[in-house]
Structure 1
Amino acid sequence: MKPQHRIPALLVLLLASLVAPLVAQTTAPINTQTATPARQPAAPLPSMIPPGGQLALLKIEGVITGALEELINRRIERALNQGAGIIVFDFDTPGGELAAALRISRNIKGVPVPTVAWINPEAYSAGILLASACDELVMATSASTGDAAPISLLSSNLGSTERAKALSPLLAEFRDNATRNGYDYAPFHAMCVLGVEVYLIENPETGQQRLVNQVDYRLMVHGSPSLARQVSQGLSSLTDTSGGVGNPSQEIATASDFGKWRPVDVLPSGDRAPDGRIHDGKSLLTVKDIRARDIRISRATIDTTAELETYLGAAGSFVVNNSWAERAALFMSQWWVRAILLVIFFTGFLIELSAPGLSLPGAVAVCALVGLFGSPIILGLASAWHIVLFLIGFALLVTDLLFLIGFGFLGAAGLAIMAFALIVSVLPSGASPLGFSDPAYWNQLASAFATIIVGAGATIITAAILSRYFNQIPLFSKLVLATPQPVGPVEDLHIAGEEVLGSGHLECGQRGVVASAGMRPSGEIEIDGQRIDAVTDGEFLAHGTPVRIVDIQGNRIVVERDDQPPTA
């Protein structure tokens, strides 16, 4: 029997001495006296809206545009007609056009029943402007808002004059919203302008708390007008990008406030704010739901419609959606959809011109035209004069193609008028307070030009393909004659000269040349000194091109390019 191998006692003691500290460390109790307090949202503020009304829910999602403005106004009217006692705007938007947002903000303040903004899950830029126009504001868990500085998609930076013109009405609207609905103005100011710091201060005598910028903070906490002036004058490096518009200045501090306020270092959520500073001004202010509750922008955290009904004391709720026509109009108002409709319109027109009497391509073109102008009319952007202007341009184009020799000034003028009508039909119908300096106006104009450029380019490519392969496309090969008739004298195809626009007898296979300035696809050919009206099967032919007759149907003479003219 082999002897047992035992671990020496000294080795056991050594292992125990190494393991014991690790076990003690993992099982040691946490010192609760030094632990950071858990972060909890501030207690919800009770709603000031009288209970008992029916709640109408209006979703505002996507980019805010002039088109959305008209749809919001219609839904507000429908909600009121259905007996809404409270209108809740459910926001999920990255922002949008400044001019449209200013108009919608004023419209919201004119609604005759209480309004509530529900940020669920985000409302940036123009979105927070609309939300601040409501009587109350609540947010969903982890929702966010802020970052409302005006920008342009066409340029990385606005010029000082343009930025000043954009900021002036924006800040004025935020100030009015804050005054009407009991908000402090400083947070909204910091959302729009870099360099605006935000502080939470309190009056020890009254317990009143206010959110102020750095100039008011120096005056109301430190009581030093000279220091406040130095602070205000030293802000130019961060904020003086718009000729002084939007720079922090004395807003609410009066002589009786100097030195009588103190900073609030701990927020209701438990977050610390050293010296009362909420925002350092190095970026545009953006807040989540807990911080929004801390600074009293949001009154409560609401995640469901049921919670919303309970919080507002509503008797019930209903949703007011866009109609199917309005949803379709929104879809067709996108620039790439309009470009496709433009291609369909011109392609249908060209096919109908190439093969008169088919009707189907012409009907498709008319439907595309209805889409091009129907959607902006439904969205309140276009009116009848846009359609009339487009039809005038179209008439000039058709006149030049069918009745005049060559494509000249009349056709070019027609195309220009049609393009102009399409562009202005999607521009905001309401006058912008910023005029042509409105960044959104130029963004919308660029989108309209993109529609024309992409649509025109795609139409040219489509026309070239159809011109070459029209008879080989399965759908169109069934609509037009693709196989030429046998060349040579065929007695039953003889027709009298008085039956065609020419004279004498014609046969399939006879040769001639293009006599008019061109065939696009109609024009005149010359055979044995006689000029005869004819058409091609879609191909455009220049003056003097050799042709031969491939089909005769009544007084309709169809020709094609003759690549093998007879030898002498």
Structure 2
Amino acid sequence: MNTARPAIRPLRVMLSLLSLLTGLMMLVSGQTASAATYQKAFWIPVDNTIERGLESFLKRAFLEAEQQQADLVILDINTPGGEVNAAGEIGQLIRQAPMHVVAYIDNQAFSAGTYIALNANEIVMTPGSSMGAATPIDMAGNAADVKVISAWSKQMQSAAKLNDRNPDVARAMVEIDTDFPGLKGKGTVLSLDALTAEKVGYADRVVAGKDELLSKLGVKSDAVQKIEPTAGERVARWVTSPVIMSLLLVIGLVGIVVELFAPGFGVAGTISLVSFGLYFFGHFVAGFANWLHIALFIIGIFLMIMEIFLPGGIVGAIGFISIVTGLVMAAYDTQQGLASLGIAVVITVIITVLLVKRFGVKGLFNKFILGDTQRNEEGYVAPKDQRDLLHKEGIALTPLRPAGMVKVDGKRVDAVSMGGFVAAGTPIVVIQVEGTRVVVQEQEQKE
């Protein structure tokens, strides 16, 4: 027994050293894994209201990141929320991204913004930031109906489960009339600050700011490339908002109606064209409209104008259908396009009625109908007698070739010249009056 002990002790020392070395290697390996370095990172802002224009921008940004073989995308989220449908599409885009996606919340990520963050591989927040309050609301600002809330709650829970987050927390952010002990009471919705979010597992870490975030991710600042929306994409984001969509259609249609009451083509017509132009431009840049939709709208306008010269109603009806089809098909969603157009038509009809009451029906159709009528009971109405203009002097307001306009006795008169061309500004004298025909010639120069 005593002779074996000296041999056992060196063996124990070697095993202890081997265990210590293995532990150190595992520790170093763990630190390396926790501070994984990324070769190329993209910084993408997700700000303001969530809408279809943002979805279009993010599709381009993720495609560009993939083409440049980025292995990290940081979404800088700062939004009060927005469209549920747009958020759903953006969430799918994030889930299918081949690179690691980090949702960075430096201020707020409410409602649809929370859903977008939950689809990322990792959520990082800063002190003072918050997320949650994801109850969907309607256009009037009230909570949506039970079906919409239930469906959205399921989407939020599914997104939470992607990274093993508690789905009940997601439900508490959506459902108002449900009590969640320890999270919120009935009649409220859950919002989380950064520290609480980290505590319940909805924030993977809390950092002081961007520099600490990049340091924790093992990313050098010069390896981060920021993608900003283009000017056209900014316009598209603004235009594709349901409220702005409806407003542009209202302005466009009302502009046409006002133009019918005003002589000539003026401010109302110009504003109408600009509104429709913005509508199509925004949806075109966002990738929802194409040249066919624009062509349908232009053809419809042309047919509506042709209806003035080709009475019968068929051409006008086809033109109206073509305009409606172009506007609705250009929208990102047919149902939303119909809803926006319906709102615009109702408001336009109301304004048209008010204008008719103010200016009368004649004010609306004075461009398309003859203003003076011959009534049988009045008999024949003779043309105005202009014989009092004979031998009076005046001046040519326009060139006479030989017809033109002259000014005689303070009145503008249609006239023809006796001796051929007469330049504008030339003194003239009336030499003959036959009914409505007034004949003039140049005044003789006095020496």
CA displacement 1:282-324 (0-9 Å, x = unmatched): 4221111121122121122335322221121112322111112
Equivalent residue letter for 1:425:
A
Distance 1:492 1:112, change over 3 A: same
For 2:71 and 2:84, how far apart are their aligned partners in 1? 29
For 2:229 and 2:145, how far apart are their aligned partners in 1? 38
In the alignment, what sits opposite 2:294?
Answer: 387
Shift of 1:179: 2.6
Does 2:397 align with 1:492? no
Does 2:306 align with 1:399? yes
In the alignment, what sits opposite 1:288?
Answer: 193
For 1:392 and 1:295, how far apart are their aligned partners in 2? 58
In the alignment, what sits opposite 1:323?
Answer: 230
Distance 1:341 1:376, change over 3 A: farther
Runs of 5+ consecutive residues of structure 2 not aligned to the other structure: 1-30, 367-404, 421-432, 439-447
Distance 1:124 1:140, change over 3 A: same
Does 2:45 align with 1:59? yes
**Matching residue within 109, 115, 124 for 1:129:** 115
Does 2:153 align with 1:167? no
Shift of 1:108: 0.5
Does 2:92 align with 1:106? yes
Equivalent residue letter for 2:309:
L
Distance 1:92 1:488, change over 3 A: closer
Q: Is the 8 A contact 2:252 2:271 kept in 1?
A: no
Q: Does the residue aligned with 2:107 lie in a helix, a strand or coil? A: strand
Query: TM-score scaled by structure 2?
Result: 0.63
For 1:158 and 1:366, how far apart are their aligned partners in 2? 35
Greater shift in the superposed pair: 483-492 or 394-403: 483-492
Equivalent residue letter for 1:95:
G
Distance 1:159 1:178, change over 3 A: closer
Q: Is the 8 A contact 2:40 2:69 kept in 1?
A: yes
For 1:184 and 1:85, how far apart are their aligned partners in 2? 28
Q: Is the 8 A contact 1:148 1:191 kept in 2?
A: yes
Q: Does the residue aligned with 2:205 lie in a helix, a strand or coil? A: coil
In the alignment, what sits opposite 1:229?
Answer: none
Equivalent residue letter for 2:60:
R
Q: Is the 8 A contact 2:110 2:133 kept in 1?
A: yes
Equivalent residue letter for 1:414:
G
Give the length in aligned residue pairs: 345
Q: Is the 8 A contact 1:119 1:138 kept in 2?
A: yes
In the alignment, what sits opposite 2:384?
Answer: none
For 2:109 and 2:434, how far apart are their aligned partners in 1? 71
For 1:493 and 1:46, how far apart are their aligned partners in 2? 103
Greater shift in the superposed pair: 98-107 or 486-495: 486-495
Q: Does the residue aligned with 2:105 lie in a helix, a strand or coil? A: strand
For 2:330 and 2:300, how far apart are their aligned partners in 1? 14
For 1:508 and 1:457, how far apart are their aligned partners in 2? 51
Equivalent residue letter for 2:297:
F
Distance 1:94 1:446, change over 3 A: farther
Q: Which is richer in helix?
A: 2
Q: Is the 8 A contact 1:390 1:422 kept in 2?
A: yes
CA displacement 1:327-359 (0-9 Å, x = unmatched): 13333442376248726984999799957xx9x
**Matching residue within 240, 243, 252 for 1:342:** 252
In the alignment, what sits opposite 2:80?
Answer: 94
Shift of 1:412: 5.2
- What is the aligned-residue RMSD (CA, Å)? 4.5
Shift of 1:121: 1.2
Distance 1:452 1:48, change over 3 A: farther
Q: How does 1:149-548 map to 2 (within 5 A)?
A: 149-154=135-140, 156=142, 158-160=144-146, 162-163=147-148, 167-168=150-151, 170-198=152-180, 277-316=182-221, 317-333=224-240, 334-335=244-245, 338-339=248-249, 342=252, 346=256, 354=264, 369-404=276-311, 408=313, 410-411=315-316, 414-415=319-320, 417-428=322-333, 446-452=339-345, 486-488=411-413, 490-492=415-417, 510=436
For 2:160 and 2:61, how far apart are their aligned partners in 1? 25
Shift of 1:445: 5.2
Shift of 1:197: 4.7
For 2:143 and 2:258, how far apart are their aligned partners in 1? 43
**Matching residue within 133, 154, 161 for 1:147:** 133
Shift of 1:142: 1.4
Shift of 1:73: 0.8
Equivalent residue letter for 2:137:
I
Distance 1:312 1:99, change over 3 A: same
Query: Structure 1 stretches (4+) deviating beyond 6 angstroms?
Result: 347-353, 360-367, 455-462, 464-468
Distance 1:419 1:383, change over 3 A: same
Distance 1:48 1:352, change over 3 A: farther
Distance 1:321 1:487, change over 3 A: closer
For 1:301 and 1:111, how far apart are their aligned partners in 2? 24
For 2:202 and 2:50, how far apart are their aligned partners in 1? 21
Q: Which has the higher contact order (CA 8 A, sep 6+)?
A: 1
For 2:185 and 2:302, how far apart are their aligned partners in 1? 62
Distance 1:82 1:351, change over 3 A: farther
Q: Does the residue aligned with 1:96 lie in a helix, a strand or coil? A: coil
Q: Does the residue aligned with 1:279 lie in a helix, a strand or coil? A: coil
Q: Is the 8 A contact 2:260 2:364 kept in 1?
A: no
For 1:307 and 1:451, how far apart are their aligned partners in 2? 49
Does 2:9 align with 1:84? no
Q: Is the 8 A contact 2:35 2:217 kept in 1?
A: yes
Shift of 1:377: 1.4
Greater shift in the superposed pair: 338-347 or 172-181: 338-347
Task: State the identity %.
Answer: 21
Shift of 1:63: 2.1
Q: Is the 8 A contact 1:386 1:425 kept in 2?
A: yes
CA displacement 1:455-507 (0-9 Å, x = unmatched): 67779969x89999xxxxxxxxxxxxxx9964557332999xxxxxxxxxxx9
In the alignment, what sits opposite 2:59?
Answer: 73
